[in-house]
Amino acid sequence: MGKKKRKFPSLEEILQRPWCYYCERDFGDLKILISHQKAKHFKCERCNRRLNTAGGLSVHMNQVHKEQLNSVENALANRQGLEVEIFGMEGIPDEVKAQHDARITQQYWEEQAARRATTGNPTPGGASGHTIKRKKAKIESKEEIEKRLETYLRQVEQGIPMSEIMEGIETAPETVPTPVAQQPFQAPQTSPPPFANHPFQAPFAPPFAQQQAPFQPPFPVPVQPFSGPPMAGAPFPPVPGFSPPGGQPFPPPFHTPTPPFAQGAPPPPRQGSGSAPALPQRPQFSAPPVNAAQFQQMHQGAAPSHTVTQGAVDELISSARQSAQAEEATQTASKPKKEKNTRMVYADNEISPEEKMAQLPKYQFTRGAREQQGSVLRSATGTVGAGATGVVRE
Amino acid sequence: MSSSQFELTDPPRDAISALKFAPNDANKLLVSSWDRNVYLYDTHDGESGRLTRTFEHPAPVLDVCFGQDDNEAFTAGLDWNVRRINLETGELEFLSSHTAGVKSVAYSSTTKLLISGSWDCTLHVHSLSDDRSAHTTCTVPLPSKPFSISMTPTKVVVAMANRAVYIYDLKSLALLCSHANSTDNTQNIVEIEPLQRRESAMKFMTRAIACMPNDSGWAASTIEGRIAVEWFDPSETSQARKYAFKCHRQTVDGVDVVYPVNALAFHPIHGTFVSGGGDGVVAVWDGVAKRRIRQYQRFPTSVAALAFSANGKYLAVAVSPGFEDGKEDPEGVVKVFIRELGESETKGKASK
């Protein structure tokens, strides 16, 4: 299984690879890194001598060739300076190191997501990185549901404020968290109990499956004070950030900023509370996609215990959907997709920059002046053979 | 990077259109500018060169090239005219007039032909024999506007709009031109079949073209950060060797910003080439090994033109603001840098 491991190295392994400060390339071995630096960055362009450090090269250039070294050859634009003394992995400033680690980590997760999107499989060892506590769909029996509806109606009749009702509902039986692996491809339930408390979603179901998948409403349907008219044909409300086929009955409550790696990437493992500085920014929990009713609920002081998790789940759903869509887009029409991400500095394919420039008023050459000039020149060439026009300045 | 690079004194006041080293003297540099002047520099007089002379034109000068020797030059002007300059006396001589701005001029010392390309979709072929009375000019119609012209000792390659690339044989052009009897170039319209008609290997507008010094092929660049390398030989094996690659791009906030590749120049000895882009970057490429040899530190603005000296020791880089980033009225630094090249600086890696 060694082969498999080499194919998908873990994040730790990647982070441990030595890399070059000047060009951000990474190497399998420190020795190779050092020889790379000597060949690419510390080589004297006059005599091809390979020095060990930029400082060494500077001294060499100074003494041997009487030249001043100003920048490190072949380096990235912001790494050309001579101030830092680099040898192999030594001397790299901490913040640069942290930046590199962050970049590598982000790239790693992006790759993981891409691989997941293409293969549809959880990555080897990667699945353990996504032990997001998931709520098991709570299945209530018909009697239980009826009983709850009854209680609710009674409460409404009694004129109990909505917030209290909500709180009461919130304390409804808590569900058991289930590990992802246990139900990754659960088939869509055909007859969803209408009042289940928590949404359920197969973690990486393809988008069309999601559309068919019956979502349980986050809370009982009748208790939706601000979410518009009750839906006739739809037994469940749409999950925010997910438009049901055939129109959108509810406008999205508010826009959730896309986390930096939401583009097809699942969030990194959520273990521990604080994030290490090297890790990419976590998705914002401050504004999870919640619908109007939840929003209302939160404003009334009842911070629901499951809202955060639900936000994360929604996020996961939407990101998985996004990645799948991106996948589809690249498969069907890769060209327009590519163009979307590029910006041409000069995009006029018909008129050359010079012609554009010639149209500027300051370069405008009036026809009259030209003709005059031309005729003068022509007559000059005609008579003398070598017409000397134009002004010559010393 | 060592300090073997310096800035020329007294650069043009406005954008640079072209610059060329003299065919013999490696210190003689001509620079044409939109400020209506052609500048002649002695690049190694003192610390940072000396401006020897300026030649004022009635309109912005779009291209310049040297003639038979170091004292003869030709210019292409926005005033539709092609001129000859005697660099010693400063005399300007009118050669021909197009019906639109003249974008480029190129001189072939082997056939003594001067070819000018204008936006009026024609080439003017001037046969400049030593006997001045025997000068003839003829007009070659083109299917589209020529944007760039490059020569080898035997051929001329014309890159046009609509991705057209025509290759003409200089000898047959010279022959046709010598048979033209009228001195008025408008009478001498020559319908000559090009040696080869090619379509650019790239989708976008060709910006610059430069031929390999060994007469085997050329490199062309587009406004969309791409360079293609192609070969003259029409055989299938040679054609299979042609390729194109992306360059002069930068990723800013996840968006790939693509700059035009404004200038190309082949090293006369090593056969490698340099490209200069709107991003202010100059890169050295090995077209045969398909490798980038090096990339220089970013110049302050867009690179407008590049030239190697005939002995291959110096590289001149003209920097001037272009139409990048949608600027309507380009303003900014206009500079000429002369770079003294190390022995192996632009040499391709030996294949081991």
- On chain B, the residues whose CB falls within 8 A of the CB of A363 are 34, 59-60, 78
* Tokens read off for B220: 């062309």
pLDDT, residue A65, reads 85
Full DSSP string of A243-298: PPSS--SS--SSPPPPPTTTTT-PPPP--SSSPPTTSPPPPPSSS----HHHHHHH
Number of domains chain B contains: 1
Substitution target from B5, B6, B17, B93 for chain A, most A beta carbons within 10 A? B93
Name the residue facing B323 among A357, A381, A388 (closest C-beta): A357
Query: What domain range is B187 assigned to?
Result: 5-27+98-103+118-340
Chain A contact for B55 (CB, 8 A cutoff): yes
Name the residue facing B329 among A341, A360, A390 (closest C-beta): A360
pLDDT, residue B5, reads 85
Helices then strands (H, E): number in chain A?
13, 4
Q: Is residue B232 part of a domain?
A: yes
- On chain B, the residues whose CB falls within 8 A of the CB of A354 are 17, 62, 101, 103
Across the interface, whether the CB atoms of A77 and B93 are under 8 A apart is answered: no
* Tokens read off for A180: 């992802």
How long, in residues, is chain B?
Answer: 352
- Judge whether A72 and A224 are in contact, CB under 8 Å: no
Q: What is the chain B residue with the closest CA to A389?
A: B92
Return the higher-pLDDT residue of A244 and B197.
B197
Within 10 angstroms of residue A335's Cβ, the number of other Cβ atoms is: 8
Task: Give me the sheet containing B243-246, strands edge to edge.
Answer: B206-211, B217-222, B226-231, B243-246
CA–CA separation, B260 and B280 (whole Å): 10
User: pLDDT exceeding 70 applies to what percent of chain B?
Assistant: 92
Chain A contact for B99 (CB, 8 A cutoff): no
- Judge whether B230 and B220 are in contact, CB under 8 Å: yes
Across the interface, whether the CB atoms of B81 and A373 are under 8 A apart is answered: yes
CA–CA separation, A166 and B61 (whole Å): 79
**Whole-Å CA distances, A273 to A276, A289, B328, B334:** 10, 21, 52, 55
Sign, CA torsion A111/A117/A119/A123: positive
Across the interface, whether the CB atoms of B3 and A65 are under 8 A apart is answered: no
Chain B contact for A1 (CB, 8 A cutoff): no
Within 10 angstroms of residue B16's Cβ, the number of other Cβ atoms is: 24
**Whole-Å CA distances, B156 to A83, A213, B64:** 49, 66, 16
Q: Is residue B331 part of a domain?
A: yes
Within 10 angstroms of residue A167's Cβ, the number of other Cβ atoms is: 15
Span B84-102, mean pLDDT? 90
Q: Is residue B185 part of a domain?
A: yes
pLDDT in tens, A127-167: 444 444 455 566 778 888 888 888 888 888 887 776 666 65
Q: Is residue B274 part of a domain?
A: yes
- Residues 224-243 (A) with a CB less than 8 A from some CB of B: none
pLDDT in tens, B96-140: 889 999 999 999 988 889 999 999 999 999 888 766 667 788 889
CATH (domain of B263): 2.130.10.10
Roughly what angle, to the nearest 10 degrees, separates helices A307-332 and A94-119?
70
pLDDT less than 70: residues of chain A? 1-7, 122-138, 162-340, 366-394
Chain B contact for A223 (CB, 8 A cutoff): no
Q: What is the chain B residue with the closest CA to A40?
A: B294
Name the residue facing A350 among B161, B258, B325 (closest C-beta): B161
Chain A contact for B17 (CB, 8 A cutoff): yes
pLDDT in tens, B203-246: 999 999 999 999 999 999 999 999 999 999 988 888 888 999 99
- Residues 319-348 (A) with a CB less than 8 A from some CB of B: 341-348
Sign, CA torsion A226/A231/A235/A240: negative
Across the interface, whether the CB atoms of A354 and B257 are under 8 A apart is answered: no
Substitution target from B79, B158, B299 for chain A, most A beta carbons within 10 A? B79
CA–CA separation, B73 and A206 (whole Å): 68
DSSP code of residue B351 = P
CA–CA separation, A262 and B254 (whole Å): 14
Across the interface, whether the CB atoms of A344 and B83 are under 8 A apart is answered: no
Within 10 angstroms of residue B307's Cβ, the number of other Cβ atoms is: 22
Q: Is residue B226 part of a domain?
A: yes
What angle (nearest 5°) sits at the alpha carbon of residue A89, between those of residues A88 and A90? 95
Q: Is residue B178 part of a domain?
A: yes
Return the higher-pLDDT residue of A286 and B88.
B88
Unique residue bearing structure tokens 């299917």: B143
pLDDT in tens, B242-297: 999 999 988 888 888 889 999 999 999 988 999 999 888 999 999 888 888 888 88
Name the residue facing B256 among A45, A341, A347 (closest C-beta): A341
Residues paired with residue B31 on neighbouring β-strands, in sequence order? B19, B39
- Residues 12-71 (A) with a CB less than 8 A from some CB of B: 45-46, 48, 61, 65, 67-71
- On chain A, the residues whose CB falls within 8 A of the CB of B78 are 358, 363, 365
Chain A contact for B147 (CB, 8 A cutoff): yes
- Residues 319-348 (B) with a CB less than 8 A from some CB of A: 322-325, 328-330, 342-345
Across the interface, whether the CB atoms of B92 and A388 are under 8 A apart is answered: yes
Which long-range contacts does B157-163 make (Cβ < 8 Å, 24+ apart)? Answer: B157/B209, B157/B211, B157/B218, B158/B117, B158/B123, B159/B200, B159/B206, B159/B208, B159/B209, B159/B220, B160/B206, B161/A350, B161/A352, B161/B205, B163/B199, B163/B200, B163/B202, B163/B203, B163/B205, B163/B206
Tell me how close the Cα of A282 comes to any Cα of chain B, in angstroms. Answer: 19
Name the residue facing A393 among B56, B223, B325 (closest C-beta): B56
pLDDT in tens, B149-181: 999 999 999 999 999 999 999 998 888 887 776
Across the interface, whether the CB atoms of B78 and A345 are under 8 A apart is answered: no
- Judge whether A183 and A132 are in contact, CB under 8 Å: no
Across the interface, whether the CB atoms of A388 and B17 are under 8 A apart is answered: no
Q: Is residue B75 part of a domain?
A: no
Least confident of A171-180, B5-14, B38-47: A171-180
Q: What is the chain B residue with the closest CA to A376?
A: B94
**Amino acid at the residue A199:** P
Chain B contact for A271 (CB, 8 A cutoff): no
DSSP code of residue A77 = G
Substitution target from A352, A355, A371 for chain B, most B beta carbons within 10 A? A352
Across the interface, whether the CB atoms of A380 and B94 are under 8 A apart is answered: yes
- Residues 66-125 (A) with a CB less than 8 A from some CB of B: 67-71, 73-74, 77, 80
Unique residue bearing structure tokens 């304390």: A171
Across the interface, whether the CB atoms of B258 and A343 are under 8 A apart is answered: yes
Full DSSP string of A132-185: --EEPPP---HHHHHHHHHHHHHHHHTT--HHHHHHHHHTS-PPPEE-GGGSTT
pLDDT band at B323 (very low <50, low <70, confident <90, very high): low
Q: Is residue B54 scored above 70 in pLDDT? A: yes
Across the interface, whether the CB atoms of B55 and A352 are under 8 A apart is answered: no
Q: Is residue B45 part of a domain?
A: no
- On chain A, the residues whose CB falls within 8 A of the CB of B60 are 358, 363, 365
Backbone angles phi, psi at B179, to 5 degrees: -85, -15
CA–CA separation, A185 and A216 (whole Å): 17
CA atoms within 13 A on the CB side of A36: 21
CA–CA separation, B29 and B305 (whole Å): 13
